[in-house]
Amino acid sequence: MNLFDVYPVNEITIVKAKGSYVWNDKGEQYLDLYGGHAVISIGHTHPHWVKRIEEQLEKIAFYSNSIRIPLQQQLAEKLGKVSGKTDYQLFLCNSGAEANENAFKLASFVNGRKKIVAFSKSFHGRTSLAVAATDNKNIVAPVNETDNIIFLPFNDEDALEDCFKKNGKEISSVIIEGIQGVGGINVAEVSFLKKIRSLCDEYGTVYIADSVQCGYGRSGKFFSHDFAGVDADIYTMAKGMGNGFPVAGIIVSPKIKAKHFQLGTTFGGNHLACAAALAVLEIIEEEKLMGNAVMIGKYLRDELESIPQLKNVRGRGLMIGFDVPEALKDLKKNLLWKQKIFTGEAKPNVIRLLPSLGLKKRDAEQFIDSIKEEIQNLVETPNLLN
């Protein structure tokens, strides 16, 4: 049997990883500033995370949600403490798309409505409603198409207000990334998030904060939406939550009461997933990783801003993006193949940095030296690799 060929891949086989580094099968070392799509939050194979999972594996890996799983309650308490949302309620699932599906569904159960507001350049996942609310027609299959999604321009308060004036009583939820990831690292403005909150309050709409990529401390606050100083009704999370162990969830405002059987999952919240997720929160707290994200993020943004060829350096904490001019379109490729540094991209010509929140200053410095060198090479010999 062959693999179903849905991904273009880099011809690199990673066999070992530690902290912000990975090694290929030839023993060559790479600096990882991408974390496999923003997943590596506390660093690859962190010893505490490995130990927690190994110890749990020896006891019990899985049982379904038909029994008590005290680790889930421990995780809810820890998450409440680290995020500051102590009175929210946790529902566990397995992926970011699934978290968003559950958020849409819960919102619709709560207010009995069908319409969802989403924004230009959004990415919310690949399952039915999540993909319908994603602003990329190429990944929406005919079966996913629905009239229930209203797309509005990102950060446009007037358009949002107009939409609510016209359709407010039909809008079940508004979903927004605090910092758009796949869309190219676009920060939601504080005033825009406040406007969403006030319109949702006025019209009985549920505010869903998609924190799948921008959450879990990456921005320097636990949820990047928190920069606006207003609470969402539901936060969805995944990627950084398990540091590579598949675990996701939603946290739900105390305003919303749970009803039996409305939401459910077989694998979600299993013992092993909870152990991994607890280890992540313990390390975020113990190693003060949110503070590190602020500090190293600022260093990287300041340095990148001082490179004249790079435009529009943006983001918060360790979620950083910048535009690369057409003449330097090979920069990401050269960083990977010549400097052995993984970065991410977004079309057209945006480089995204989504490293471990524990990224060290010396690694950030190495990246800055390397990117300067590669820019210089491309300026001097633009067609070398073409």
Which residues form the interface with ligand PLP (CB under 6 A)? Answer: 37, 95-97, 100, 123-125, 177, 181-182, 210, 212-213, 238
What gap in Å lies between CA 35 and CA 44, rounded to an integer? Answer: 8
User: Residue 256 half-sphere exposure, CB side, CA atoms within 13 Å?
Assistant: 28
Q: Which is nearer to ligand PLP, 92 or 371 (CB)?
A: 92
Q: Which is nearer to ligand PLP, 163 or 248 (CB)?
A: 248
CB of 122 to ligand PLP, least distance (A): 8
Q: Which is nearer to ligand PLP, 293 or 346 (CB)?
A: 346
Q: Which is nearer to ligand PLP, 108 or 122 (CB)?
A: 122
Q: Rounded to whole angstroms, what are the CA distances from 24 to 11, 45, 99?
A: 10, 15, 33
CB of 102 to ligand PLP, least distance (A): 12
Q: Which is nearer to ligand PLP, 97 or 199 (CB)?
A: 97
Give yes or no for a contact between 235 and 215, defined as CB atoms under 8 angstroms apart: yes
**Bond from prior residue into 254 cis (ω within 30 degrees of 0):** no
CB of 7 to ligand PLP, least distance (A): 13
Q: Residue 236: which of 252, 254, 220 has the closest Cα?
A: 252
CB of 319 to ligand PLP, least distance (A): 11
Q: Residue 232: which of 78, 38, 84 has the closest Cα?
A: 84
Q: Which is nearer to ligand PLP, 321 or 328 (CB)?
A: 321
CB of 94 to ligand PLP, least distance (A): 8
CA pseudo-torsion sign 310, 314, 316, 318: negative
CB of 112 to ligand PLP, least distance (A): 25
Q: Which is nearer to ligand PLP, 252 or 371 (CB)?
A: 252
| Phi then psi dihedrals of residue 191, to 5 deg | -65, -30
Give yes or no for a contact between 108 and 173, defined as CB atoms under 8 angstroms apart: yes
CB of 134 to ligand PLP, least distance (A): 8
Q: Which residue is nearest to ligand PLP (CB)?
A: 96
| Contacts made by residues 51-54, CB under 8 angstroms, sequence distance 24+ | 51/279, 52/275, 52/276, 52/278, 52/279, 52/282, 53/245, 53/272, 53/275, 53/276, 53/279
Q: Which is nearer to ligand PLP, 188 or 375 (CB)?
A: 188
Q: Which is nearer to ligand PLP, 242 or 297 (CB)?
A: 242
CB of 373 to ligand PLP, least distance (A): 30
What residues contact residue 180 under an 8 Å CB cut-off, 6+ apart? Answer: 119, 121, 122, 123, 154, 186, 188, 214
Give yes or no for a contact between 243 and 280, defined as CB atoms under 8 angstroms apart: yes
Give yes or no for a contact between 142 and 81, defined as CB atoms under 8 angstroms apart: no
CB of 96 to ligand PLP, least distance (A): 2
CB of 215 to ligand PLP, least distance (A): 9
Q: Which is nearer to ligand PLP, 164 or 235 (CB)?
A: 235
Indicate the residue type of 219: S
Instruction: List the beta bridge partners of residue 93.
Output: 248
DSSP single-letter state for residue 19? B
Give yes or no for a contact between 316 and 297, defined as CB atoms under 8 angstroms apart: yes
